[in-house]
Amino acid sequence: MDAQAVEAHAIRLYEALGPKAIAHAAQRATEADDAGKPDDAHSWRRIEERLKERRGAHES
């Protein structure tokens, strides 16, 4: 997943779930790891990190 796709997914996820989006992305990363899908897990972790970055920008 490229940077633009990560950003777009993070925005959509935050619009749908609000602050719960970070926990959702973390859960999906764990589920992908458990299912043996490391690429999917990596993508979800990138989305989670982007959500955390966006949260920090809004709170500062």
Report the pLDDT value the prediction gives residue 1, as an integer from 0 to 100: 86
Q: Give residue 42's pLDDT band: very low, low, confident or very high (50, 70, 90).
A: very high
Answer whether residue 60 shows pLDDT above 70: no
Q: What is the pLDDT of residues 11-22, one digit of tens each?
A: 999 999 999 999
Please report the sign of the dihedral spanned by the C-alpha atoms of residue 55, residue 56, residue 58, residue 59: positive
Answer whether residue 32 shows pLDDT above 50: yes
> Cα–Cα–Cα angle for 42, 2, 5, nearest 5°?
95
From residue 36, how far is each of 4, 50, 51, 53 by CA, in Å? 25, 23, 24, 27
Amino acid at 13: L
